[in-house]
Structure 1
C-alpha cells in the first residue's frame, strides 16, 4: 500500500493511494490537518501546513479510493486511519490534497483586511 503526490510539486499536490492494484484519489469529505499530518509524515516531510480541498491541484481521472478519512494525527500511514472505501457521495471535483514542508521555514504573521493570517515562507 502506497501513497503519492500528483499534479503539483514534491511538497504540495493531490493525494493518491494505491489500493487493489490501482492508483486512486482521496475525497475531501472530513479532510483536515490531522489527515495531512499523517500523509506528510508518511512521505517523509516533518511538517504539515495545509489540507486542500475541491481539487485544488486539479481533478484526477482516477477512481476515488478513500472517503471520510479520519486520522488522529499520530498514525504512521493513511492506511492506518479510519476511512470509507465507498465513493458514492464524492466525485473528482472533491479530490483532496496536501501542502507539506521539508522544514527549515519561518512563520510570519501578516495583517490583511480580513484579519491576521499566518503564512510560511522559506
Structure 2
C-alpha cells in the first residue's frame, strides 16, 4: 500500500506539467568569432530559470541564459558567453521570433527567442 501512495504524487506532477507550458521559451543562438559562426545551440527553457549549454572540442564554449517575459512583445535575455575567443555578459530585450545580435570585440552572439508552441 505504501508504494501505491508514493506513486500518486509523481503521477500528479507529470499531469500538471503541461499546464505550465506557457512559461516555456525556445531559444536559438549563434556564436561567432570574427564574423564566422562556430556554434549554433538551441534549447527550450522555463521562464526565470537559469539554463546553460556547453560544448567541448575544437571550439569549446559555455552559453548561459535566463529568459523573462516583460510584455507581450518584449522578452529579456540575460546571457553569458565564455569561450577561448572571448567572454561577454549582455542583457538584451528582444521581440518574439526576431533575431538580435550583440558583438563585443571579436565575439558575437545572435539570439532568437520564441514562446514554446508559437
Alignment TM-score, normalising by the size of structure 1: 0.27
Ranked by relative contact order (alpha carbons within 8 Å, sequence separation 6 or more), the top structure is 1
Compare CA radii of gyration and give the structure with the larger one. Answer: 2
Structure-2-length-normalised TM-score = 0.27
